[in-house]
């Protein structure tokens, strides 16, 4: 897949999902199916980006992941990251940070005249976007990574979605394009299986073997 097609696909997914969410669905089933498929594909893409960052961070930190609130059936399992421990006395507890940040955004939306129902729905998506941005910032500041990303805006007032296209370190490309997505999918499957086995919080230890999927 060329870079242009890859970027265009991301752009189409982000806009199609936001465009249709606010509308009451009265269209025939055959017209709703492509919308649902686009929404699921976007959620999968967000999950893969998250898993890529989790794996990269595991080089420098222990990452605690909570059991999913419910098992995902039609999309890949999104990870509920509880905390990140860099081993230097700094433990980042993400749950409260994300909740506080996204509630602030919800209140700002409502103050601008956005319907409460719409603002509440955006809150859930913004949590994923804010989490990804935080993980990327940590990888840049604490781990020395650089990223070539695609930034895409939805409707006015919604957060920009950052989509990682290329991972760089010490001026060397580590992974990019389809290889990046393939590795992220394998990482998601590994973490999902571990969660199923433990039946409790999962701690991904510093130096986890998953890193070999990226550094091939």
pTM of the model: 0.76
For the segment 99-130, what is each residue's pLDDT rounded down to a tens digit? 888 888 888 889 988 898 888 888 877 888 88
The answer to whether 180 and 132 have CB atoms below 8 angstroms apart is: no
Query: 21 and 121 in contact (C-beta within 8 Å)?
Result: yes
Predicted confidence at residue 28, as pLDDT, reads 66
How many percent of the chain have pLDDT more than 70?
A: 75
DSSP for 52-82, written as a single string: HHHHHHTTT-EEEEEPPSS--SSSPPPPEEE
Sequence-separated (6 or more) residues with CB below 8 Å from residue 2: none
Least confident of 21-30, 56-65, 102-111: 21-30
Half-sphere exposure of 33 (CA within 13 A, CB side): 3
Contact in structure between 69 and 41 (CB atoms under 8 Å): no
How confident is the model over 55-70, as a mean pLDDT?
A: 92
Domain boundaries, given as residue ranges, for the chain: 3-213
List, in sequence order, every residue forming a beta bridge with 81; answer none if it has no partner.
65
Distances (CA, A) of 39 to 18, 21, 103: 9, 9, 23
């Amino acid at each position: 897949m060329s870079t242009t097609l890859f970027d265009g696909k991301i752009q189409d997914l982000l806009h199609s999902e936001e465009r249709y969410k606010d509308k009451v669905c009265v269209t025939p089933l055959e017209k709703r199916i492509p919308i649902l498929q686009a929404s699921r594909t976007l959620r999968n893409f967000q999950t893969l980006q998250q898993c890529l960052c989790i794996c990269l961070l595991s080089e420098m930190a222990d990452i605690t992941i909570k059991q999913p609130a419910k098992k995902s059936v039609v999309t890949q399992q999104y990870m509920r990251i509880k905390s990140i421990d860099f081993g230097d006395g700094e433990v980042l507890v993400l749950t409260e940070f994300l909740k506080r940040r996204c509630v602030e955004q919800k209140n700002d939306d409502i103050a601008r005249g956005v319907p409460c129902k719409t603002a509440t729905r955006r809150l859930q998506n913004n949590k994923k976007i804010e989490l990804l941005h935080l993980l990327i910032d940590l990888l840049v500041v604490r781990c020395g990574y650089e990223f070539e990303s695609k930034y895409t805006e939805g409707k006015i007032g919604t957060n920009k979605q950052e989509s990682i296209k290329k991972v760089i370190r010490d001026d060397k490309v580590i992974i990019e394009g389809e290889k990046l997505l393939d590795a992220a999918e394998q990482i998601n499957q590994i973490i999902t299986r571990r969660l199923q086995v433990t039946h409790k919080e999962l701690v991904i230890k510093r130096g986890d073997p998953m890193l070999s999927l990226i550094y091939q």
